[in-house]
Structure 1
Amino acid sequence: MARIAIDMDGVMADSTQQYINWYANRYGVTVAKESLLGKPETTGFPLDGVVRQFLYEPNFFRTKPVIAGAQEVIKALQEKHEVFIVSAAMEFPLSLAEKLAWLEEHFPFISWHNIVFCGYKHIVAADYLIDDHVKNLSTFKGEPLMFTAPHNVNVQEFKRVNTWEEVGALLL
């Protein structure tokens, strides 16, 4: 049985789609996900800097779409492994309560005992960390698994998983 730490934003919750949806709703312009490939997160939109402001708005974290396959694979992982959701939730004041409510709605099978909200993730002790950010994976002492997101497509120093089906094939 392995201990698996799983990030939320960009791994379970589709942050990129949420940026696109909120930008389209606010400014009437739909940005293609492909146009964001290789660009730093929250950049690549016609009005520079506005997308980062969404992170401070009510319901941004609460209404993110679930990434395809996450619910099924995480539930299956729990049957074989010790699974923890590990999410940075301190930087944006509204995110903590919204992330918890999001998890309760979309992942009701995850106990509160297995949810870790933190700042830096380097304190996490697990066998695997599934995350989309270099800053978290580079300090992890177990085996880092980079979950593909537009902002990390050019990163090559970590083992990559592109979908939840690939996570399942690797860890189930």
Structure 2
Amino acid sequence: MNKKTIAIDMDGVIADIETHLITFYKEKHGIEISREGIQGLSEEKAFPIKEDLHSIVNSKGFFRTIPVMPDAVESLRLLQENFEIFIVSAAMEFPVSLGEKFEWLKEHFPFIGWENIILCGSKRIINTDYMIDDHPKNLDSFTGKPIMFTSFHNTEKENYLRVNTWKEAVAFLHQTL
């Protein structure tokens, strides 16, 4: 029997980019940004010095040091028992991130083989049964079952099945078996 497939985004889904950006922003500008204060805002509005946000995410070491989302490692291990998992990241937007993302995955998710890691530009070509992503633009063209992982910038979006935590994601996916 073939396992169902899941495409899982990195930033904002298994990698806690929100915490990382808040920390970097405070270190660079001394500006305290709260999680509560950025809910429902775009990245540009949440972190108002746009050219600085761009330089932060393009800085060496940024993607290599992102914290892991709570329960992500255990959840992916659990899901891997019944699903084939692909990590899919639109990494081409930030070319410095390519090697860093691969190294980060090897450290935190060593059980995901290199052949199941897709660092790409557009995710339109992804053809799995499910896709878990925090950006509606990646879910809009997806032909399988899209699942939105809650992030500060998507709290106002209501057109997708939403999961707020990895425990919720696992519970939903296990009920589809």
TM-score by length of 2: 0.93
d(CA) in 1 for partners of 2:6, 2:137:
18
Q: Distance in 1 between matches of 2:47 and 2:142?
A: 31
Give yes or no for contact 1:89–1:95 (8 Å, CA) kept in 2: yes
Structure 2: stretches of 5+ with no match in the other structure? none
1:27 to 23, 26, 29: 29
Please report how far the alpha carbon of residue 29 of structure 1 lies from its aligned counterpart in structure 2 after TM superposition.
2.4
What is the aligned counterpart of 1:120 among 108, 119, 122? 122
Counterpart residue type for residue 170 of structure 2? G
Between the aligned residues of both structures, percent identity stands at 49
Counterpart position of 1:164? 166
Q: Partner residue of 1:43?
A: 45
Structure 1 residue 93: Cα displacement = 1.7
Which residue is equivalent to 1:59?
Answer: 61
Give matches, 1:1-172, under 5 Å. 1-45=3-47, 47-172=49-174
Shift in alpha-carbon separation, 1:91–1:45, aligned structure 2, 3 A: closer
Aligned equivalents of 1:124, 1:55: Cα separation in 2? 24
Gaps of 5+ in 1: none
8 A Cα contact 1:71 1:107, kept in partner: yes
CA shift digits 1:10-59 (9 cap, x unpaired) = 00001111110101111222210111111112432354542232111001
- 4+ residue runs over 3 A deviation: 45-49
State the distance in 1 between where 2:74 and 2:151 align: 20
Take 2:22 and 2:37, find their aligned partners in 1: how far apart are those partners? 11
TM-score, scaled relative to structure 1: 0.96
Task: Choose 36-45 or 129-138, whichever is displaced more.
Answer: 36-45
Specify the code of the residue in structure 2 equivalent to 1:150.
Answer: F
Is the Cα contact below 8 Å between 1:61 and 1:98 reproduced in 2?
yes
CA distance in 1 between counterparts of 2:89 and 2:48 reads 29
SS in structure 2 at match of 1:13: coil
